[in-house]
Structure 1
């Protein structure tokens, strides 16, 4: 498990931070032509937004603009229990009238939203949490101002200064509330973080694919079917935002909120209010291969080998398999409904390069999904840099690296950075080394590439 760990030196609002994430959070976004996107798909109401996002579990969510209401929670006059989040705004959006872009349109809507909270009178903890794929505007509600982003928001009233750890479905965040900050705020919103990833120009909605959100959380009691009063069509939703329910879908299997802090604070909640409308668009099953590597060596005169494949794809009842280098089908195993699959073959590849065929099938979980998806990926050795060190004293860079092919070790070549200048070829067998005089300026990182396709990147350690 990899958790996003954010250390905040203060409780100042943290917004629009971008960066890589370990999981492939979302898989695909509607590639429609900007300005020609519509919602619903069969209407003439152009919004300019992407119609849908798909996650790595295979679920596709439309931009949620339906006025279907919950059959589980009764509404009140002027306050319908919509299955989508449609917040009225005086002078801008009247939810009692037809949604028309841009003259009567919400200033924020969602493809997905999940809200959770922890309130504990005994400790004084009051935590609010939000995770969303949001549609908003850069300025007024107008064509050309559309934008989307993946959001994580955490706000906490705390009873004392100290270090607080918040575990949530999409990672772990750590906050240090100083005595000065606690004195200034009295503990109210002493933790106040918003992380928006993927904000782009109008018409480019790919940025949210790199955010923390995904796969989409969904109620363990869903999906729910409701009738759209404007179209009389039945629509399905992954949750009911008017209810707090247990969920599934966390890429880390952390389908809960938990806060730990000073003086033994440790409180947990496992319910969320979730909104998301399942799309009628049929899309292939996701299949995202994270790694396909082989290892082999000689043990007591016999060749011992294995081919290892790691893939992100829909969890069971979906299935994943791969054809190894000998063409033998290998059934892969999934971990705890997270969508992370692993499979291993004991075959030694007879030649390199060679490609493996990985197939994901999710029609049992989502009957409308298209036929299984098969992708071809190269099988490579696994390269590991064990030392990347630069000496200020003699200006010498030392690189030690190894290859997982210990039978016929391929050449290993070092480069400065991910795609920088050639440094040189490492010398040795499966464990190789290189120690050139590199001058007065060390590289920040080095990359070692194998002739059999493997590679590794490491930061250079500076020593006297």
Structure 2
């Protein structure tokens, strides 16, 4: 089976005018020190929506779904294992501790029309040795898809954290089609005791039940705890960074099935953390219209918690601009029509104090830069000629544009040919062509493109 992870399709789901569709899934992780109460693991992870989830080790029981003898309806995903972890006894590391634990899980299933699909997203704590041994602790973000099917062809699976495209052959359908699609992607496994790798995974922000959070009492401490979902229930969830709060499979012969319910687990931390704020872009443009009147804007894009959180920035004139978020995904945009001051430091703020527990407001500064666009980057093998054509969004000042080799940073030269905003560099270079070039503006903007190689 061939699998293609379609990052372009994933980016398209965002629909961001920012031009930066990179998913900032998780925002921060406990930096330690790590205690035996969490088995030497990071106590918590925070997502870009501001929610902080503790490592879910509570033996709190669901008040909505009754358990059965020997199988309590835990609010955390606890996995008993003979000789390793006895869930009827208090937790103790390393003597009575699960070999796997989770900060977050979300599972969904589709069983219809000959399709048997199982989806899982998780932020997991585990051990390199697969047994609770101090010094072997690791964490990772997991996306898992397993699908039984009987028809070869191309299948597209959309889920809360992206899009996967699979080509399934007749050979893959062998064994009655069981696990014809079988993908597990774990991101973040690094040196034991280092938990930052999972921040770069595909999981996050954390999904949560639309009916939560759920309060339950921890029988070991008597404390009331809050959970983002009940893993014993299948319910609608929200929190997808792409607003795709479902799992959908499309395939041959018009196949199109979906589910919007998930079994979600995660324990909300009592820890107060600053409001997450990621500045994606702060650019300006200016020009004149046909009558000579100025046409200008300052545009800021950030990622921060969605409403009831809020975001704003102060433009280069010092005026406050309220930013807008419309999809519930945490992507904010704001524009000022004040005269831009190139390279001015803008103050950007986000406030998620309405969260539970509150996230104190965060303010960051970012330079206001022009937007550089490379229109053409070509190299001729026959003549050794390198042609770069680019422009700045500043059509008034016409800042100096300079090209460099993107891989090594070696200067190539200024783009000083052409009239108006479109500038070019056309020169013979003696070395091999650069794979990519970067054009940088004196007013702070830059763009990088691959070089087209011609005969």
Which band: TM-score by shorter chain? over 0.9
Which residue in 2 is equivalent to 1:12?
none
Distance 1:21 1:136 in 2: 31
Pairing of 1:52-451 with structure 2 (within 5 A): 52-120=44-112, 122=113, 124-139=114-129, 140-182=131-173, 184-299=174-289, 300-349=291-340, 351-364=341-354, 366-427=355-416, 428=418, 429-439=420-430, 441-451=432-442
Distance 1:278 1:418 in 2: 43
Report the CA distance between 1:368 and its aligned residue: 2.8
> Is the 1:116–1:128 Cα contact (8 Å) retained in structure 2?
yes
Poorly superposed stretches of 4+, deviation over 4 Å: none
**What CA deviation, in whole Å up to 9, does each residue of 1:30-54 have, x standing for no partner?**
1113xxx13xxxxx63522111110
Which residue in 1 is equivalent to 2:448?
457
Which residue in 2 is equivalent to 1:29?
29
Distance 1:242 1:367 in 2: 23
Unaligned segments of structure 2, at least 5 residues: 9-19
Q: Which stretch has the larger CA shift, 452-461 or 67-76?
A: 452-461
Report the CA distance between 1:203 and its aligned residue: 2.1
**What CA deviation, in whole Å up to 9, does each residue of 1:135-190 have, x standing for no partner?**
111113211111111111111111210000000000100000012322x3432111
Report the CA distance between 1:367 and its aligned residue: 4.2
> Is the 2:235–2:261 Cα contact (8 Å) retained in structure 1?
yes
SS in 2 for 1:64: coil
> Is the 1:116–1:273 Cα contact (8 Å) retained in structure 2?
yes
**What CA deviation, in whole Å up to 9, does each residue of 1:377-427 have, x standing for no partner?**
111111111111111121212111111111101111111125521111112
Report the CA distance between 1:456 and its aligned residue: 1.0
Report the CA distance between 1:440 and its aligned residue: 5.3
SS in 1 for 2:124: strand
SS in 1 for 2:143: strand
Distance 2:249 2:21 in 1: 22
CA RMSD of aligned residues (A): 1.7
**What CA deviation, in whole Å up to 9, does each residue of 1:92-134 have, x standing for no partner?**
11111111111211111111110011111x2x11111001111
Which residue in 2 is equivalent to 1:15?
none
Report the CA distance between 1:322 and its aligned residue: 0.6
Which residue in 1 is equivalent to 2:13?
none
Unaligned segments of structure 1, at least 5 residues: 8-19, 39-43
Report the CA distance between 1:6 and its aligned residue: 6.7
**What CA deviation, in whole Å up to 9, does each residue of 1:418-451 have, x standing for no partner?**
5521111112442111122123521111111111
Distance 1:252 1:27, change over 3 A: same
Distance 1:419 1:311, change over 3 A: farther
SS in 2 for 1:406: coil
**What CA deviation, in whole Å up to 9, does each residue of 1:29-79 have, x standing for no partner?**
11113xxx13xxxxx635221111101111000000000010000011110
**What CA deviation, in whole Å up to 9, does each residue of 1:281-301 have, x standing for no partner?**
101111111000000001121
Distance 1:185 1:383, change over 3 A: farther
Normalised TM-score (structure 1)? 0.91
Normalised TM-score (structure 2)? 0.93
Distance 1:252 1:57 in 2: 13
Distance 2:185 2:70 in 1: 33
